[in-house]
Amino acid sequence: MLEAALTLKNVNTKTKITIKTLVSVGLIALAVVLPQLVHLVAGAPGGVQWLPMYLPVLIGGCLLGTWWGLGVGIMSPIASFLITLAFGNPMPALVRLPYMIVELAVFAAVTGAFSKHIAKNMWMAFPAVLLAQVSGRVAFIAIVAIFQTVSPLNVATVWAQIQTGFIGLILQAVVVPFVIIGLQYLLNKGNKND
């Protein structure tokens, strides 16, 4: 989506990379800060219920496309872990980190695959987010099932977490597409003023 808008403005490749880098860093920073705010207000269960790290990753995929979105999806839990580890309470926990990397990478890759379609039809953000959420959660359950003999996580625990986070998924299935539609409107408005 962002690529299409920058191309319409005849932005050169170096500037596109700079803009995408800045947007990616901003989304990763949001993916670190937002969970901290949710945990501050709602406690640790709030993170499982509202899934705050998912929001910037879903936006990143829709906005930046597959590869840049994938970078946001992979780097968000890693950055959050490293930054919060420095303060003695890593989020996500080390045992959950590899699973979150895979899950968020799937979120970003699926929404990113829709990015060009969203640029043409902003309403495509709705199926993009829904498909990403289902795919990411299925990937999470699948890798837990594969590795549960060597991990403290098991399918029953993860299924309970998924049920707890259902309200957060529903909220994001509505909020993220409207954020993307708003951004698309702003990007199109900027192009019409040229």
Judged by phi (left if over 0) then psi (alpha if -120 to 50, else beta), residue 43 lies in: left
The whole-number pLDDT of residue 192 equals: 58
The whole-number pLDDT of residue 133 equals: 97
Nearest to 58 by CA among 111, 105, 19: 111
Q: Count of CB atoms within 10 A of residue 83's CB?
A: 15
Mean pLDDT (the chain) is: 94
Q: What distances in angstroms separate CA 175 from CA 1, 12, 56, 128, one per listed residue?
A: 17, 32, 11, 13
The whole-number pLDDT of residue 45 equals: 87
- What CATH number is attached to the domain comprising 131? 1.10.1760.20
27-46 mean pLDDT: 94
The whole-number pLDDT of residue 110 equals: 98
Domain around 86:
2-192
What is the distance between the alpha carbons of residues 187 and 40, in angstroms, rounded to a whole number? 34
- State how many domains the chain has: 1
Cα Rg of the chain (Å, integer): 17
Asked if residue 194 has pLDDT above 50, the reply is no
Give tens-digit pLDDT for 128-148. 999 999 999 999 999 999 999
Q: Is 63 exposed, middle or buried (0-12, 13-18, 19+ CB in 10 A)?
A: buried
Nearest to 57 by CA among 86, 85, 77: 77
The whole-number pLDDT of residue 188 equals: 82
Asked if residue 27 has pLDDT above 70, the reply is yes
Give tens-digit pLDDT for 97-125. 999 999 999 999 999 999 999 999 999 99
